[in-house]
Amino acid sequence: MLAPQNPGVPKIPRSLFAARPAVGHTTSALNFDCYPKGYFMSSVASVEKPSQSIGLHAHQLHWRYALPIAAVHVLACLAFLPLFFSWSGVVLAALCTHLFGMLGINLCYHRLLTHRSLTTPLWLEHVLATIALCSLEDTPVRWVATHRLHHVHSDETADPHSPNDGLGWSHAGWLLRAAPSRRSLAFYDRYARDVIADSYYRWLEKRPFTVLYIYAAQIPVFGACGWIVSWCVNGHTAAATQLALSWIVWGVFVRTVLVWHQTWSVNSLSHVFGYRTYETKENSRNNWLVALIAAGEGWHNNHHHDPVSASVQHRWWEFDPTYYCICLLAKLGLAHDIVLPRHIRQARTAAATTSRELVP
C-alpha cells in the first residue's frame, strides 16, 4: 500500500493544474503490489530529500533510457544512406513530427494530463496518450510527475533539467543519469496521483516494457503503408520495398529524434534564450524558434506565468498551433472545460462582477 504523505513537505501548488473530478478513481486503485520486484528503487525519504541521492547516483548511467536514445539516434542516421532516402519520406517525417509532437506530447502529456487545461472523452485521451508513446518519451505517469516537479522547483537544485547545470544537461543529459528519487511509487503518488489512478496508465506502469512494444508496433505499419503506396504507383516489388524501408527510417526513427529534440529544446533553449514578458520566479524565456518547431511550446515564459492555461498565445503574433488544435477539438465536441489565459479569465471575472453590481 502507499506510504503516508509527509506533512512537512509542501504540496504541489494548485495553480499548476486545474482541479478535475476523478470520475471512477479510488485510492484502492493505487495498490502496486504486482509491480516487478525492484522496479521502484527508492523510498519516501528519497522524494522528501532528493539532494541526498543526487551525489550518490550522479555518475550512474540510466541504461533503460540511454540505450533506446542511442539506438534510435543510430537508426535515424540510416536516412543518410541512398537506400533509405526518398522525398516522400522527408515529407512524412516533417508531417509526423508535427502531428505526433503536437497531439501526443504538447496536447496530451503537457496540457491535458500535466496541467489539466482541458478535458476530453476518456477514449480520446487514451488515444492521444498512445500517440505520445509512439514518440518514446516515457509513460504518461512518469512524464507528468517529472514535469510537475520541474514547475515546483524550476531552475532550482531539485529541478530535474535546469540549464543552471549546463545547456547540455538541460537538453538531454539529465535523461542519461540515474535518478532513483524519480522512479519511486512515492514520487508518482506525490506528483501524478490523478494520472496513476487511471487504469490504462496504471497498466502501462505495471508493465514497463510495454512502451517499447507499442513503439515497435508502428514500424510495420509505416513499412506496410510505404510498400502499398509504391506498389499502387509503379507495381515494382523492389521499389515498393525501398520505399517501405524509407518510410520506416524517416517516419519512425527520424521523426522520433526530431520530436525528442523539439521537446528537449523547450527545457534547454527556452530557459536560456529569448525574451521575458513576465517576471516569473525562474529563468523561462519566450523563444520564437522553439515555438516554431514545437507548435507553440516555445512561448515558455507565458506558460510559466500561467501554467494552467490551455493557450500560451498572449500576443497576436505568438502563434500557438497546439491551442488551435484544442479549439478544433472543441468545435467537434471533443474538448471541454478549456482554461483560457489568466488575463482573459480576469477580464471576464471583472466584467461579471461589474454586471452584478449594476443590477438593481
Q: H helices of the chain, where?
A: 44-48, 50-56, 63-76, 87-99, 122-133, 140-152, 167-171, 185-196, 199-206, 210-234, 237-248, 255-268, 288-293, 300-305, 321-331, 342-358
Q: What is the pLDDT, as a whole number, of residue 202?
A: 95
pLDDT of residue 80: 95
pLDDT tens readout for residues 164-199:
989 999 999 999 998 888 888 899 999 999 999 999
Mean pLDDT of 317-346: 94
Query: What is the structure's pLDDT at 22?
Result: 46
pLDDT of res. 18: 60
User: Comparing 29-33, 77-81, 165-169, 306-310, which segment has the lowest mean pLDDT?
Assistant: 29-33
Residue, of 91 and 47, whose pLDDT is higher = 91
Report d(CA 285, CA 301) in Å as an integer.
5
Distances (CA, A) of 229 to 76, 89, 119: 22, 12, 37
How many whole angstroms separate alpha carbon 308 and alpha carbon 341?
8
Q: Kindly tell me if the per-residue pLDDT of 349 is higher than 90.
A: no
Is residue 267's pLDDT more than 90? Answer: yes
What is the pTM (predicted TM-score) of this model?
0.84
Which position has the grid cell 510498400? 227
Break the chain into its structural domains and give their ranges. Answer: 58-273
Mean pLDDT of 131-153: 95
Q: Which one has a higher pLDDT value, 223 or 39?
A: 223
94/56: higher pLDDT = 94
Yes or no: say if 124 and 335 are a contact pair by the CB < 8 Å rule: no
Range in 58-62, 95-99, 208-212, 254-258 with the lowest mean pLDDT:
58-62
115-119, 173-177, 179-183, 227-231: segment of lowest average pLDDT: 179-183
**H helix or E strand, kind and range, residue 276:** none
Least trusted range by pLDDT, from 20-29, 103-112, 306-315: 20-29
